[in-house]
Structures are given as structure tokens and as C-alpha cells.
Structure 1
């Protein structure tokens, strides 16, 4: 395993080849990386990434620049080298969990593929992960070593990939916990979690009546949060009472009548209290409010 030679192109690099090599660091404890466009060297390599004009996973060839490309997903996003590598090794990296592998593909891999293949332009404002990787390249004003910069980018990408996998696994593993809380709710409009668990996807899918979530914060205090109408939306199924907006400490205690009430966000989507009893009283008031 340790004597494998992996080849990719030299010179300027992009997110797809960087993340491809980063992925392989999770598979092979060590390997000999060669960055070249020398076809003789490429032909001798065990695995070839993003160069060579061939896609054949059985022989370790993962290019997508040849005529006709290397296929596309059902949603139309073409595969770059990262997507091709993920098809081959993603399930293994995710310890055989297809749901996690698919989630990483949807959240990370396919986006990098789409940008690399020109399927999308990337983010309209701000900076994308693909652009971040590109900035590891030396600028025209620097006498940088492309290979050394590539190694830095791979180390960065490997860490990002690890965190994407952990995040995907956390969200997927949370589903059963949230589903049980939904089943056990005494009122389907208020779902109580015994510990904070990522809940939005499961609640939006499984609990159409749910309006508020109740859960402990990391500090041990209690939180009530409104359920959004959809993922990423700032509109809630039902907001907290309007008179609570932006209040905290004594003002919030006075208006709720709860001596351990803490705060309510001005956006009326989240509020807190010291005790579970008080947060449930807030939930009752929120349900009754117009």
C-alpha cells in the first residue's frame, strides 16, 4: 500500500485535484505523489488524478478532461476528478455508511465538481471553498514552489473533508433521536429534546405540526426555538410573541412573569430561561399568542 505512486498534473492546482489527493490520504497511510504532465511517468503511476485523458476506476485512472467527460449525476452536475475519486473511495472513507457518503457528495463534492466543470459559477458574493483552494497557488508576484503550496492545500482540504464527514454523520445519526422526541411529544406543536441535537431536517420532514423546539443549551440553561418553514428560511411556522422582541433580564422577566427568564431575540425565533419549567411556560404562552 505504501509504495503506490499517485500522479496528478503539475503547475497551478484547483480544488478538484487538491481534494482528490486529500481523499486518498484517508485511504493510503503514505504514497509517492508525483505532479507532472510527462505521459511516460503518468503511464507508470498506480493512480492518476485529473490528467491523462482517461477514466477507468479499475485501473486507477480518474481524469475528466477527455472528450465526452466522465459522466454526470442524475441532477446534471458533471464529475470532476474529486467526484470520480469519491465514487470509488467515499463509501470506504465513511465506514460503509452510504447515507453519509451521499451527504458529503451533496454538500461538498458535487459543488466542487460543478464549479470545476463550469456547471455553475459558484457563489455570487463572498468566497467559495474552490476559490479558497485556488488562493494557495503562488501569485504572479511570488516566487513560490507550486508543489509545496499544493501540499499545504492538501493538508487544509484533508481537514475540511474530515469535518464534512463528521458533520454529515452527526446530522444523520441525530435523526433517530429527533424522531423519538417527536413520537414522545405530549403536544405535537412543542418537541422537547433532552440534549441539543441537530433537528431541523428531521422536524421539517417528520413533524408538520411542530411549531417550537425546546432543548438545553451548552451552559445547562434552556432554549425555545421556532421551527422555520423550510431549511435556510428566516420565516418561522409561528414566531414567539411580538411583545418579547429584543427583551432581556428584568424587562423580559417582567413581561413573562418568570423570574428566571433570560432573553428573547429581536427576530422572535429564539428565547431562553434558566429552568425547564419556565421554558415550557414560555412555550405555552407562545402557542396562545396571536
Structure 2
């Protein structure tokens, strides 16, 4: 038997109400979902999402359509119902980690809120997750029922939310590992990771000296990768030596004098060798190159 009743509006749905229900699936193992605009039914619900004209988290009311809205973040992005739900339950959903919850808010929740509230400043252009959710609504040519399509959209959103949480948690865990590697580096220009770990944001935040990252590949060989001038940039702080561009195996071994050198990308941002020692030799040569 379901212990709780959650109400949201019926008919056409958007990312904020879909993701709100997806988030609540992480909080409540089972609940009775009613999609309606009947105010009598709404009044009896335990939680009300994106309908009802009231925001009162303690009373379980999470609408933002009332006059004056439901507040905004410090950066000016207003809260939609998803943001209000995340304020209330985000830390719990992220297993008690406020840091992970804040990261998910910055990367996912606030963008959905911004689009839903028409706050387009700073929101990336192109097909958005909000538009993707909207495409779950039945078209005028389809006989599908809105509630069935809503359930499909919630299942999709629940999976996306789970992956966002996992990605945020992984990035936060990686930060401490990369920070320790920077601190322990024998040469601050060459940072060695014992296992591949997402590193770009942490390196750019903590080191303006790092030029190359050295780490093992999944197949057991080693890689050397350049540090871009900023996250997302195709320009490197210091590229690998130009004579290595596009070479592999014997040709690269002859060019480097390293017997187990394997390859160097034509873009001079990554190369590899069989052993850690050889990859560090590649780093030493690259540091000395003009």
C-alpha cells in the first residue's frame, strides 16, 4: 500500500515536474501519483508539485507559478518546482553530501529551473534536456495518453538524475586524488596519476605550472597528455614535440630514441608508451623541446 500521495498537474508536462517526480522516487520507495488540476484533490495530497499556487516546503507545497514566484538563487536563477524539491531533498538524495547536491544543482537542476522560468541568460543554446523531456509529450498525431507519456519521461529523467549524481560524486572524489598528485609531484610540470582520474578542473584550479599529465591506460600501457590552457580549450600550455606528430611504433621509437614508444596523436596532445619509465622519458624530452 502506498503511504503518500503526490499531486502534480495533468496534461502537457515539462522537465521541472518530470524531474521533481523522478527525484522523489529516490526519497519515497512508493507513492500514489495523481496528475490533476482539481483543487479539492490537490488540497488532500501530501506533496503538491508544480501546481496549486503555493510554496511551503514544510507543508509539502512546491509550486512556483504564484505571484512573486518562489525565490531565486544568488546568481539570479529562479526556482522552478524541481529546484524547490532539490532544496528540500537534494542532500538526502545524494546520501548526505551537500557538496554533491550543490554540484548537481549547478550542473542540472538550475539549468532546468532557468529554462522553465524563462531565465535564458547564461543557458547554453541548442537542444536542451528540457526540450528532450518535452518531446515525450504526445504529438497531435498520436493517440498516446499524457499520463503514460509522463511515466515514460519520469523513467528517463530518473536515469539521467542518477547519472548526474554519480558524475558529481566521482568528480568530487577525483579532486582530492588529483590535488594530492599535484602536491607530491617531483616536477610540478609533470603530474603523475596512479590511475586515470578526471583531472582538468582540479589542475586548472590548483596548478598554473602543470604541463603534462602521466597516467596508466585501461590496457596497462601509459599515456602522457598535455594540459590545455583552460578547460575545454584545444590550445595546450605546451604541446608535445612537433617531430612526433602522427608517428607510431617504429617511426616514433626512432624519433624519440625510446624503444617501447607506441604513438603520438597528430594533434600533439597525447602520446603513449608501454612502460611508465618510457612515458616519463617522453615527458622529459617534451619539457626540453622548443
Give TM-score scaled by structure 2 length. 0.96
In the alignment, what sits opposite 1:208? 208
Question: What RMSD, in angstroms, separates the aligned Cα atoms of the two structures?
Answer: 1.3
What is the count of residue pairs matched by the alignment? 289
In the alignment, what sits opposite 2:259? 259
Q: CA deviation at 1:123?
A: 3.9
Counterpart Cα distance in 2 of 1:135 and 1:34: 21
In the alignment, what sits opposite 1:124? 125
Q: Residue 26 of structure 1: SS of its match in structure 2? A: coil
Counterpart Cα distance in 2 of 1:2 and 1:219: 49
Deviates more, 1:8-17 or 1:264-273: 264-273
Can you give the 5+ residue segments of structure 1 that lack an aligned partner in the other structure? Answer: none
Q: Residue 180 of structure 1: SS of its match in structure 2? A: helix
Q: CA deviation at 1:267?
A: 1.8
Q: Residue 283 of structure 1: SS of its match in structure 2? A: helix
In the alignment, what sits opposite 2:90? 90
Q: After TM superposition, which residue ranges in structure 1, 4 or more long, deviate above 6 angstroms?
A: none
Q: Residue 196 of structure 1: SS of its match in structure 2? A: coil
Q: Residue 48 of structure 1: SS of its match in structure 2? A: strand
Please give the residue correspondences for 1:48-59 in structure 2 after superposition, counting only pairs within 5 Å. Answer: 48-59=48-59
Counterpart Cα distance in 2 of 1:141 and 1:254: 65
Deviates more, 1:186-195 or 1:172-181: 172-181
Can you give the 5+ residue segments of structure 2 that lack an aligned partner in the other structure? Answer: none
Q: CA deviation at 1:73?
A: 0.6
Q: Residue 125 of structure 2: SS of its match in structure 1? A: coil
Could you give the per-residue CA deviations for residues 160-215 of structure 1, whole angstroms, max 9, x where no partner exists? 11111111001101122111111111100000000111111211111221110000
- Contact 1:194–1:215 (CA under 8 A) maintained in structure 2: yes
In the alignment, what sits opposite 1:227? 227
- Contact 1:212–1:224 (CA under 8 A) maintained in structure 2: yes
Counterpart Cα distance in 2 of 1:2 and 1:237: 58
Counterpart Cα distance in 1 of 2:264 and 2:52: 58
Q: CA deviation at 1:147?
A: 0.5
In the alignment, what sits opposite 1:153? 153
Counterpart Cα distance in 1 of 2:260 and 2:129: 43
Counterpart Cα distance in 2 of 1:137 and 1:249: 53
Counterpart Cα distance in 1 of 2:139 and 2:246: 47
Could you give the per-residue CA deviations for residues 58-84 of structure 1, whole angstroms, max 9, x where no partner exists? 100111111111111111111111100
Give TM-score scaled by structure 1 length. 0.96
Q: Residue 154 of structure 1: SS of its match in structure 2? A: helix
Deviates more, 1:259-268 or 1:189-198: 259-268
Counterpart Cα distance in 2 of 1:261 and 1:172: 33
